[in-house]
Amino acid sequence: MSLEIKVPTVGESITEVTIGQWFKKDGDFVEMDEVICELESDKATFELTAEAAGILKIKAGEGDTLEIGEVICEIDSSASAGESASDDTKKEESQPVSNKGGKTGEIKDMIVPTVGESITEVTLANWLKADGDFVELDEIIAEVDSDKATFELPAEATGILRHVAQEGDTLEIGGLICKIEVTEGGAPEQEEATSNGGSQAASTSVSGKDTYATGHASPAAAKILSEKGMDAKGIQGTGKDGRITKEDAERAQVAAKETPKAESKPTPKTEATAPSSAPKIAGSRDTKREKMTSLRRTISRRLVAVKNETAMLTTFNEVNMGPIMEMRKKYKDQFKEKHGVNLGFMSFFTKAVCVALQEWPAVNAQIDGNEIVYNHFCDISIAVSAPKGLVVPVIRNAESMSFDQIEKEVVRLALKARDNKLSIEEMTGGTFTLTNGGIFGSMMSTPIINAPQSAILGMHNIVERPMAVNGEVKILPMMYLALSYDHRVIDGRESVSFLVRVKQLLEAPERLLFGV
């Protein structure tokens, strides 16, 4: 019995996942509850386990994006551990070969499927199969783009593909995108050439008669030709039925470079000669193209939405970090000995922000429809640069935590982010965000709000600068602070007063201990 394994529900707001890595190969025997692959969403990474023991049949490859509920693989639970997919293949090969496939006369119309409630049209981004190609049922034949995501279009039947829409065309939901001439028993011979015992097929190949594949470039070859501005016409294909392969396109490219230009008649020299052409400099001009991950697409979409949908602006101030640095130097060894964690800057900033948020609640608020929600707690989001992109884990009720509790939570979340092990719960919520670009050397920036929050505080690097103190010039370790906020919720008075209060608490950290 074959058991279908579908993409599980991994979070309320997650509608699709990307296959990050297969740990098992197609045809491998897997045990029940064994981890078979890794799935990536726009928020976290998950492991998919086998729901039964048997032979694995992979339906989607690494990098494919699947919606929740789609089939990702199948497990043949009737197979034993000693069997493999190759055994089944051998059995099939040992049986006498049946008749070659042929057309049934049925035409399958494929229309643009419904891909989301608010999506009314899509754009045909890329044909993965050429017009006239033989396609299998559920084989990916094209990619379509909507205003929210990119989707893969699988074949709804086995047969010969006939394009109706072209790349770049915009189609409404339900519009005709292609047709499939349904076949049975595999790929048909060259246009029914097997009707006379195969003699016509032989004569066709000998006489050089063209088929639907002749002169058509494969997807890889078409990409090379398109990038170099070359036409497929005039290129002799060496693939099946005369198809232009990737190697043909590369050879044609080299030949075009090596073909000398037609010699022109020498022109007599004149006093006013034309300027010489730019010198040719030897060097590599290679490029690399990678598909955006689901996480990167989500980050891009959200950041652009924040810029377009909020009245965002930034106010700045500077802080003398000397008092905090002196306090850390004095107590860091005792702190680590007692609590087992280093005393960093993040705990000082988190405590200072929590105090200021409680005094200026508008900075800790957010818009919900036509209402403003004021939060009486401080869930502080910490922006962390993870290997696969920016993530923002949350420290819950930071206003009630001590310095050592904050430092331990920061270390725990940072380690999980580095290993891509953060859960959905650890990254949802948050009322205010801290981001530290200073660890990368940033002197000044204007951070973008982490929606639906209304403000974010940017920390920067510490630089020794000459400052005027009581009429004297002193060299002090200074840091620029940047508060980006949504002017729809926060007025200038609240934003500036909040930042001044944070500066006051950081320059006199003993205030955090006494609550003044």
CATH number of the domain bearing residue 236: 4.10.320
What is the pLDDT, as a whole number, of residue 513? Answer: 82
What residues does 38 pair with on adjacent strands?
A: 21, 47
348 and 442 part of one domain: yes
Query: Residue 221: which H helix or E strand, with range?
Result: helix 219-227
Q: Which residues are catalytic?
A: 487, 491
Q: Which pair of structure tokens corresponds to residue 326?
A: 């002196």
Mean pLDDT of 352-359: 96
13 and 89 part of one domain: yes
149 and 52 part of one domain: no
383 and 442 part of one domain: yes
489 and 414 part of one domain: yes
Q: For residue 462, give the CATH number of its domain.
A: 3.30.559.10
Please indicate whether residue 311 or residue 62 has the higher confidence score (pLDDT). 311
Is residue 58 pLDDT above 70, yes or no? Answer: yes
Identify the CA nearest to 478 among candidates 499, 500, 462, 466. 462
474 and 449 part of one domain: yes
DSSP character at residue 9: P
What residues does 463 pair with on adjacent strands?
A: 478
Can you tell me whether residue 312 is helix, strand or coil? strand
Q: For residue 65, give the CATH number of its domain.
A: 2.40.50.100
3-state SS of 329-380 is HHHHHHHHHHHCCCCCHHHHHHHHHHHHHHHCHHHHEEEECCEEEECCCCCE
What residue numbers bound the domain in which 215 lies? 211-244
Is residue 73 pLDDT above 60, yes or no? Answer: yes
Please indicate whether residue 78 or residue 139 has the higher confidence score (pLDDT). 139
What is the pLDDT, as a whole number, of residue 218? Answer: 64
Mean pLDDT of 94-101: 48
Give the whole-angstrom CA distance, residue 510 versus residue 516: 9
Render pLDDT for 279-310 as a digit per residue (tens, 0 to 9). Answer: 778 788 888 888 777 677 777 888 898 889 89
Q: Rounded to 10 degrees, what is the CA torsion of 168, 170, 176, 178?
A: 10
Residue with tokens 């050592």: 404
109 and 77 part of one domain: no
Instruction: Please report which confidence band the pLDDT of residue 276 belongs to, taking 50, 70 and 90 as the band edges.
Output: low
107 and 87 part of one domain: no
Render pLDDT for 21-56 as a digit per residue (tens, 0 to 9). Answer: 888 888 888 888 888 888 887 767 778 888 888 899
Residue where a domain terminates, one of 36, 68, 94: 94
Instruction: Please report which confidence band the pLDDT of residue 459 belongs to, taking 50, 70 and 90 as the band edges.
Output: very high
Mean pLDDT of 235-258: 68
Of the spans 184-188, 265-269, 386-390, which averages the highest pLDDT?
386-390
Please indicate whether residue 410 or residue 85 has the higher confidence score (pLDDT). 410
On whether the CB atoms of residues 416 and 426 are closer than 8 A, the answer is: yes
200 within a domain of the structure (yes/no): no
427 within a domain of the structure (yes/no): yes
Strand 455-459 to strand 432-436: parallel, antiparallel, or no bridges (unpaired)?
parallel
Sign for the pseudo-dihedral over CA of 450, 443, 422, 404: negative
Please indicate whether residue 84 or residue 382 has the higher confidence score (pLDDT). 382
pTM of the predicted model, to two decimals?
Answer: 0.53
422 and 316 part of one domain: yes
Q: Rounded to 10 degrees, what is the CA torsion of 254, 255, 257, 260?
A: 160
What is the pLDDT, as a whole number, of residue 97? Answer: 44
Render pLDDT for 189-223 as a digit per residue (tens, 0 to 9). Answer: 544 444 444 444 333 343 444 554 567 676 567 76
Residue where a domain terminates, one of 94, 116, 140: 94
What is the pLDDT, as a whole number, of residue 254? Answer: 58
219 and 350 part of one domain: no
85 and 219 part of one domain: no
What residues does 485 pair with on adjacent strands?
A: 313, 455
296 within a domain of the structure (yes/no): no
378 and 358 part of one domain: yes
204 within a domain of the structure (yes/no): no
* Burial call 107-134: b when 16+ CB within 10 Å, e when fewer: ebebebeebeeeeeebbbbebebbebbb
- Number of domains into which the chain is organized: 4
Least confident interval from 34-48, 352-366, 500-514:
34-48
Identify the CA nearest to 431 among candidates 362, 366, 350. 366
Render pLDDT for 367-417 as a digit per residue (tens, 0 to 9). Answer: 999 999 999 999 999 998 877 778 899 999 999 999 999 999 999 998 988
Least confident interval from 168-172, 255-259, 408-412, 503-507:
255-259
Q: Rounded to 10 degrees, what is the CA torsion of 116, 424, 39, 135?
A: 0
* Burial call 456-478: b when 16+ CB within 10 Å, e when fewer: bbbbbbbeeeeeeeeeeeeebbb
Least confident interval from 230-234, 318-322, 439-443:
230-234
What DSSP string describes 81-139? TT--HHHHHHHHHHSPP-PPBEEEEEEEEEEPPP--TT--EEEEEEESS-TT-EE-TT-
